[in-house]
Amino acid sequence: MLNRRNLLQGMAAGVGAAFGASLVPERLLAAPSGNGGPKRIVFFMQNQGFDPKTCIPEGMTSNSSLAKAKLPEPIEPLEPYKERLHIINGLHGTHTSPSHSAFFGALGGYRGGDGVPPSASTVDYELSKVLPQTLLPHLCIGMDSIENMTTKPTVANLSASAAGQPIFMHSNPNHLYQMLYGGISTGDIRMQHEARSNVLNQLEKLTAAKGHSLPTADQQRYDQYVQGFRDVNGLRDRLDTVSDHLRKFAPKVDEGYTKPEFETDWHDRLLDLGISALTSGITNTLTIGSGRGEIFGAWKGLGIPEQGHNLGHMKQPDNPIWIKIRQYNSRMLVRIMEALESVPEGSGTMMDNTLIVYTSNNADSQHTSGANWPVMLLGDCGGIFKTGCFTQLDGKRPINALYTAILRTVGQNVDRFNMTEQLAKKFDAASGPLREVLV
């Protein structure tokens, strides 16, 4: 049964962290500037690790072009797009102590752990602040087993807006659809949307009138919930002002939402909603947590009976189970690219101004030290990022350096992301961005 209290707390805390200032409707589709760099970004985090042998072409051990290479079977769906692909091996995240998962540390580049609150903001949130503003600057979706997504429709494990400020992932596509498109729907969806809106309006009024006698620490947390409800209601109002525009992008509701046979039915609908939020201009930053940053996850819809922690104890190379999961991920990446390619932007398409980052929240494997953290990038963003190639690094630069490079491309003049000089002396052999990913 759905835990109503957890859902409301998740909405209040998570949405409050992600929503930005009110925007006028004309800003819904932010026009790309002439400065280059990505105008939107997608982070796709698969749990249980990303073994480099599942993405590096056979026999390729040094920096090489992918033009004449054949991609490994697990990422074979990306073969037609390999001129846009950059496979990077040899980054590390030993300082994040990933083990089962680095949790917030995977995108934060700092020490994480199960049940440990974020110690700073994560790179996806930092990017959402400086990319062209949208109605919902940052959207996080999380894919898991149907049981987990039903009982825990919102969880926070990967993204954060500040120290101790997690951003919640949406895992029930019905709830997310209501939030994004309830105002333009009819029938049961519209009724549920209006009922939910009335409840949230009442909660905002009730919470705003109480809590003044709480201790300082509790008062701060209470104020965050109040602001969260205000932001939820504010987003609903702003979306209502662009209802005609949203109708062009809202996914069709089918039984995959209301009567899913497998968890992958919900995975696919969540991806549809994430794509529609990007193509409609609702958001410019999408974070996808396949496994929701945990050790769980299920893919019964792919014919895989095993689920959860056991998947992490299986060797990934040449494993038919992991080939299915990685190919499923790759097809999702293709769906994102094809959708963005279909929408004109500037002199090209939305994909021309988009960077997709695919990796794991758990480095290369389950129970890992984080010594190797493979990453795939898709998109060159006007020739700023190198593509069509494989780069082998020496294991001396952290994932923070990659995040620093991406931040540099959007105008943030930073030399290190979430890494002090003292920490860098131990874990980073150089300073500044990872130049190997930049042209």
Contact 72, 57 (CB under 8 A): yes
Contact 171, 292 (CB under 8 A): yes
Q: Which pLDDT tens digit goes with each residue over 382-409?
A: 999 999 999 999 999 999 999 999 999 9
In a 13 Å sphere around the CA of 192, the CA atoms on its Cβ side amount to: 13
pLDDT band at 245 (very low <50, low <70, confident <90, very high): confident
pLDDT band at 39 (very low <50, low <70, confident <90, very high): very high
Percentage of the chain with pLDDT > 90? Answer: 74
- Across the range 338-343, mean pLDDT stands at 97
Residue 425: enclosing H or E segment and its boundaries? helix 421-427
- Across the range 236-261, mean pLDDT stands at 88
Region of 246 on the Ramachandran plot (φ > 0 left; ψ -120 to 50 alpha; else beta): alpha
Q: Is 241 exposed, middle or buried (0-12, 13-18, 19+ CB in 10 A)?
A: middle
- Name the nearest CA neighbour of 368 among 96, 142, 88: 96
Q: Which pLDDT tens digit goes with each residue over 72-115?
A: 999 999 999 999 999 999 999 999 999 889 999 999 999 999 99
- Residue environment code for 352-377, b if the CB has 16+ CB neighbours within 10 A, otherwise e: bbbbbbbbbbbbbbbebebebbbbbb
Instruction: Tell me the residue type at 83.
Output: E
pLDDT band at 21 (very low <50, low <70, confident <90, very high): very low
Contact 86, 386 (CB under 8 A): yes
DSSP code at position 93: -
Six-digit token pair at 70?
Answer: 């054949």
Mean pLDDT score of the chain, rounded to an integer? Answer: 86
- Across the range 237-256, mean pLDDT stands at 87
Q: How far apart are CA 338 and CA 9, in angstroms?
A: 35
pLDDT for position 241: 77
Say yes or no to pLDDT of 229 above 70: no
pLDDT for position 216: 60
Listed ranges 120-124, 134-138, 344-348; the one with the highest mean pLDDT: 120-124
DSSP code at position 61: -
Q: How far apart are CA 221 and CA 30, in angstroms?
A: 33
- Name the nearest CA neighbour of 238 among 11, 17, 21, 2: 21
- Name the nearest CA neighbour of 52 among 72, 68, 66: 72
CA torsion angle 280 174 138 281 (round to 10): 0
At what angle are helices 173-181 and 187-208 packed, to 10 degrees? 80
Helices (H), 88-167: 105-108, 123-130, 146-151
φ/ψ of 314, rounded to 5, equals -100, 135
Q: What residues are paired with 348 via a beta bridge?
A: 345
Q: How far apart are CA 274 and CA 117, in angstroms?
A: 26
Contact 239, 135 (CB under 8 A): yes
**β 165-170/154-162 pair status:** antiparallel
pLDDT for position 192: 57
